[in-house]
Amino acid sequence: MTTSTATLVRFTQRPDHSLVLGLSATRAITLAACVLAVAIVTVASGMTAGVITAIGISPLAGSALLMVEGRALIEWTPDAARYVWRGANGRLRVLANPDRPVPAGILPIPGTVQQLAVFAAVDGSAVLHDSATDTWTAIAAVTGNGFLYADAETQDAATAGFGRTLAAIGSDGQIQRIHIIHRTRAHIWNAEPETSDPLRQMCCSSMADEPDRISNLADGQTETGGEASIRSEIDSAAMTPGPRMSAGTEVHRVDAARDGNEDAQAAGAAVAAYRETLGQFRSAWRHETLLAITLGGKTSRAAIRRAGHGRTAAARVLAAHRAGLAETLDSAGTGLEEWLTPADLADWIIDSFDPASIPLRHDGPANARPRGPGGSADRAASAGPMAVDETWSTIRTDSAWHQVVWVAGWPRFETHPAFLTPLILPAGATVTVSLVYEPIPTPVALRQIGRDKTAQASDAALRRRIGTLDTAEQAARETDTLQREAEIAEGHLDMRHTALIAITAATRDDLTDAATRVRQAAAAVGCETRILYGQQLAALNATVLPAGLRL
């Protein structure tokens, strides 16, 4: 028996990790230091000195209580200090130096300090090495099977299969991160009739000259045999009467002369409407999805040592994880198209930072791209942006403006598994949704759950002692903690997940409009989003680079 809608799902809320009474460690320590300072001064110097001290440190105490964008004002201090420091050192604006040589295989991405290198494995696929965290990443292009249009039973099976897929990939502890990137960008049609799009080719060849042809008929001219044939087919398909003309037939010429003016006006209006439609919708929306699996150098050190030495051994261990991935993804209704080569990875990175170059590089005869052995890892030297200009809330790279937001809260109500659909549908700009899953070893997860339960019990006892009532949010968090513990006891793998959304547009005004629409769409499905102020460059790298980078 099938249901009309897929089974609804519910997210457990992110643990707050508060120190006491819902206050973070920074806020609790700040308030405690203020109270202690006032008490010490009052005891040592009297009430007057204590009052003066309280007035003097009240801004500090207020910064621990005043909330801005979901965070206490004092918690913004580290980000603001780093931003000011980077600005003072000229690191907010970066210009590429063509005269400075880049080591082979190094990705010159600003903000990564040349920590990312790419090389080709034995089969030509790309392996991305992060020297800072000692990780090795393989990237695959994947495609879905139309989840939105499937029946409820198929959607339930795909949802369960996706959970099993994540558990299977991260079960042995060697895979440190699973990174899924979905990018929706405009695919511009050519204005020339020679475009490869069949619909536009047909319309441009058969309709563009329709007003002129009918005007000629009104002046007494005749159609050629091919034009008469086309017109006959159009008339019969439309099931409407129309002038059927063959060369040299006088009666058809008279009919055309009588009705030509009206037909010319109607056809002219139709073609004008068609051209206006093409002007408004001359861009289709292209959906691209990547799946990256990141092998931890520390967690898989023994396996790498058994496989040999260096990056060749790491690529061999990573290939073992890749081998069964296609079959694993199939259970989630997802197909593995191909493993990206270094050239494919370079193209993805360039498309992310410089969208205006996409038609220049991808269009043309045979869609040719320069390639070398294994996809030409040497192309990595040109994969980074030529210029970067970061502000407090946005970042500009080459031909595009970007803004990155973090999904700070997931829906607190039961929702459909496809609830993220409004975020990946066209918003008038390029939207990149990045999901990073980090498998947590079961012993570590159980210890964390134990600490959360102890902290929640302590807070509840303290609230009862001071006479504070429990809130529904606190009760929900306690329920979520118990649910996580029960799921782990049933054999499920606990995962830490992070979602980032990068909005890309050609101008700053377009970016502002698109970001507003995306954030409104996220709020409509129950997601809380926050702009990552002061760290837009690092956030953009973590979103668009399939390397499993962490903020």
Q: Which residue has the higher pLDDT, 511 or 474?
A: 511
What does the pLDDT average to over 67-72? Answer: 86
Tokens for 215? 């005007």
- Distance, in Å, from the CA atom of 291 to the CA atom of 165, rounded to the nearest integer, reads 12
pLDDT at 224 over 50: no
Q: Among 263, 280, 297, which residue terminates a domain?
A: 280
Q: Output the average pLDDT for the chain.
A: 80
Predicted confidence band at 11 (pLDDT cuts at 50, 70, 90)?
A: confident
pLDDT at 535: 93
Predicted confidence band at 452 (pLDDT cuts at 50, 70, 90)?
A: confident
Q: Which residue has the higher pLDDT, 195 or 309?
A: 309
Specify whether 248 is located in the same domain as 133: no
Q: Among 86, 102, 136, which residue terminates a domain?
A: 86
pLDDT at 197: 46
Of 506, 185, 514, the residue nearest 351 (C-alpha): 185
Cα angle 377, 382, 384 (rounded to 5 degrees) comes to 110
pLDDT at 241 over 70: no
- Distance, in Å, from the CA atom of 192 to the CA atom of 189, rounded to the nearest integer, reads 9
The model carries a pTM of 0.79
Of 548, 525, 551, the residue nearest 538 (C-alpha): 551
What does the pLDDT average to over 123-129? Answer: 92
Residues of the chain above pLDDT 70, percent: 77
Give the residue numbers spanning the domain of 63: 8-86
Q: Which residue has the higher pLDDT, 178 or 217?
A: 178
Q: Among 37, 56, 86, which residue terminates a domain?
A: 86
Considering the domain boundaries, does residue 371 fall inside one? Answer: yes
3-class DSSP assignment, residue 528: strand
* Cβ atoms of residues 547 and 136 within 8 Å: no
Considering the domain boundaries, does residue 1 fall inside one? Answer: no
Q: How does pLDDT run across 348-391, given as a tens digit for each residue?
A: 999 999 988 876 666 544 444 444 444 454 677 778 888 999 99
**How crowded is residue 153: how many other Cβ atoms within 10 Å of its Cβ?**
13
Q: How does pLDDT run across 494-544, given as a tens digit for each residue?
A: 888 899 999 999 999 999 999 999 999 999 999 999 999 999 999 999 999
pLDDT at 249: 45
Considering the domain boundaries, does residue 447 fall inside one? Answer: yes
- Which one-letter DSSP state was computed for residue 506? S
Q: Which of 181-190, 217-226, 261-270 has the lowest mean pLDDT?
A: 217-226
- Distance, in Å, from the CA atom of 148 to the CA atom of 145, rounded to the nearest integer, reads 9
Considering the domain boundaries, does residue 2 fall inside one? Answer: no
Provide the phi-psi class of 340: left if phi over 0, else alpha when psi is between -120 and 50, else beta.
Answer: beta
Specify whether 183 is located in the same domain as 254: no
pLDDT at 83: 94
